Amino acid sequence: MSRRTALCAAAAFLVVAVLVAAFVGAADLNPLATAAALIDKAAPFLHLPTSLDPLDKAVLFQIRLPRVVLGALVGALLALAGAGYQGVFRNPLVDSGMLGASAGAGLGATLAIVYLGGAGPQVVPVAAFVGSLAGVAVAYATGAAASRHTVLSDGVATLLLAGIAVGSFLTAVQTFVLQRSASDIQAVYSWLLGSLSAASWQQVTTILPYAAVSSAILLLHGRHLDVLAVGDEEARALGLRPGLTRAIVVAASALAAASAVAVSGLIGFVGIVIPHIARRLAGPAYTGVLPLSLLIGAGFLVLADTLARTVLSPAELPIGVVTAFVGAPAFVWVLRGTRHVGT
């Protein structure tokens, strides 16, 4: 598939996913009335009448739509961060939670829940965001310091290993804190499982600036990642500064993942699966993988969340269950047809 076709297909997939998500839900809103209400909102000058009563309208515009939009944002950010990390580490196994990002977010959220519980619900996302960024910063600094004395051939492996060490350490601290406060276990695990259940426009507007900045930086670094793919020495010969590029892409990926995690908790599988699907569609070049990951990730998470909130309607499933249940078989399918998995 040519890159242009793939991009068009991915965009169409996202549009379809959003439309499906906007029309289904536990509230069982009349589809025609919903369509009329949506068109009326988009083009108020048409004065289109809708049979939705005020409560139904509130459900559509205050509960369902922000959830769809937030799902798209989170999916796009996780997939983009995953693609960024995979490119910078030249390793197909890394995902958006790498380098202590997930572990740091988990520790931040746990500390906020256990020690700042009374301070209100808005504290947890901030703590998760800060924790995620701090986790990456510590892992990166540790890895960079270690790589000066490393026996490993390149700094990338050292960074990844430092990330694993820092992640394990942060998770140990998180578990220790949690074990000392049994009453908070339910709240912490609910957060760790990830959820978009309480999505609001406020959450959308809160993460939008971070999402825009990190996405823009990542999308602009596609070419750099492609050059980096041939190796540090060769990249340097081509006039690139590998260390600087790595730092910028890691920072942008960390920012993207942290913004997503802050509003949704730890949603697994998106950050690792989606870049591979993008690669399968349009080849390994990051100039294509990055924008495709953004679009497919957004559409995928919107659909996954739609399943999460409709399969057992009016009950819900944790979204992590759906992303893994749908994502794991999709991953296997992608792997079977992928010849060059690396980069």
Partner 1 sequence: MNTPLRLAAFAAAAAACATALAACGASASSTTPASTTTPASRTTSSAGSQAGAASATAAFPVTVKAGNGEVTLKSYPTRIVSLSATATEDLYAVGAGSQVVAVDQQSDYPAGVPKTSLSGLTPNIEAIAKYNPSLVIASQDSGGLVAGMTKLGIPVLIEPAVATIAAAYAQIEQVGQATGHAAKAVTVATGMQRQIAANVKQAGASHQGLTYYWELSANPFYSAASSTFIGQVVGLFGLKNIADKASKPSDGGYPQVSQEYIVTARPQIIFLADNQAADGGQSPAIVAKRPGWSGIPAVQHDEVIGLNDDIASRWGPRLPELVGEIAQAVEQASK
User: Per rule CB under 8 A, is residue 201 in the interface with partner 1?
Assistant: yes
User: CA–CA distance from 170 to each of 113, 173, 190, 262 (Å)?
Assistant: 16, 5, 19, 17
Which DSSP helix (H) or strand (E) runs through 187? helix 185-193
Q: Is 20 in the site for partner 1 (CB under 8 A)?
A: no
Residue 52, phi-psi category: left (phi > 0), alpha (psi -120 to 50), beta (remainder): beta
Give the whole-angstrom CA distance, residue 35 versus residue 159. 50
Type of residue at 18:
V
- Dihedral (Cα; 299, 69, 24, 291), 10-degree rounding: -10
Q: Is 183 helix (H, G, I), strand (E, B) or coil?
A: helix
Among residues 101 and 111, whose Cβ is nearest to partner 1? Answer: 111
Amino acid type, 135: G
Choose, by CB under 8 A, the member of 95, 226, 305, 316 that binds partner 1.
316
Asked if 70 and 263 count as a contact pair (C-beta separation under 8 A), the reply is yes
* 233 Cβ contact list (under 8 Å, min separation 6): none
> Pattern of binders to partner 1 over 91-120, x per CB under 8 A?
----------------------xx--xxxx
Nearer to partner 1, 19 or 240 (CB): 19
| CB-nearer residue toward partner 1: 171 or 338 | 171
Q: Is 195 a residue that touches partner 1 (CB under 8 A)?
A: yes
Number of residues this chain uses to bind partner 1 (CB under 8 A):
48
Name the one range near partner 1 by CB under 8 A: 135-143, 193-201, 216-224, 237-245: 193-201
In sequence order, which residues have a C-beta less than 8 Å from that of residue 138 and are 6 or more positions away?
Answer: 100, 104, 166
Tell me which stretch binds partner 1 (CB under 8 A): 178-186, 205-213, 219-227, 294-302. 178-186
How far, in Å, CA of 149 to CA of 303, rounded?
46
In the list 124, 159, 273, 277, the residue contacting partner 1 (rule: CB under 8 A) is 124
Span from 9-17, 49-57, 94-102, 238-246 in contact with partner 1 (CB under 8 A): 49-57
Give the span between the Cα atoms of 343 and 86, in whole angstroms.
7
Of these, 75, 82, 288, 318, which contacts partner 1 (CB under 8 A)? 318
Please give the structure tokens belonging to residue 179.
């074990």
Q: Which stretch binds partner 1 (CB under 8 A): 79-87, 160-168, 237-245, 316-324?
A: 316-324
Q: Is 87 among the residues that bind partner 1 (CB under 8 A)?
A: no
The residue (of 260 and 290) whose beta carbon lies closer to partner 1 is 260
Conformation bin of residue 265: beta by default, left when phi > 0, alpha when psi is -120 to 50: left
- Applying CB under 8 A, does 313 fall inside the site for partner 1? yes
Among 59, 70, 192, 322, binds partner 1 (CB under 8 A): 59
Which x/- pattern, by CB under 8 A, does the window 202-221 give for partner 1? x-------------------
Largest pairwise CA distance in the chain: 71
Secondary structure of residue 56 in the 3-state scheme? helix
309 binds partner 1 (CB under 8 A): yes
How far, CA to CA in Å, does 82 sit from each of 35, 110, 137, 240, 249? 35, 24, 17, 22, 11
Per-residue contact track with partner 1, 269 to 308, x per CB under 8 A? Answer: ----------------------------------------
User: Binding of partner 1 at residue 33 (CB under 8 A)?
Assistant: no
- Which residues lie near partner 1 (CB under 8 A)? 25-28, 54-56, 58-59, 61-64, 66, 113-114, 117-124, 179, 182-188, 190-191, 195, 197-198, 200-202, 309, 312-318
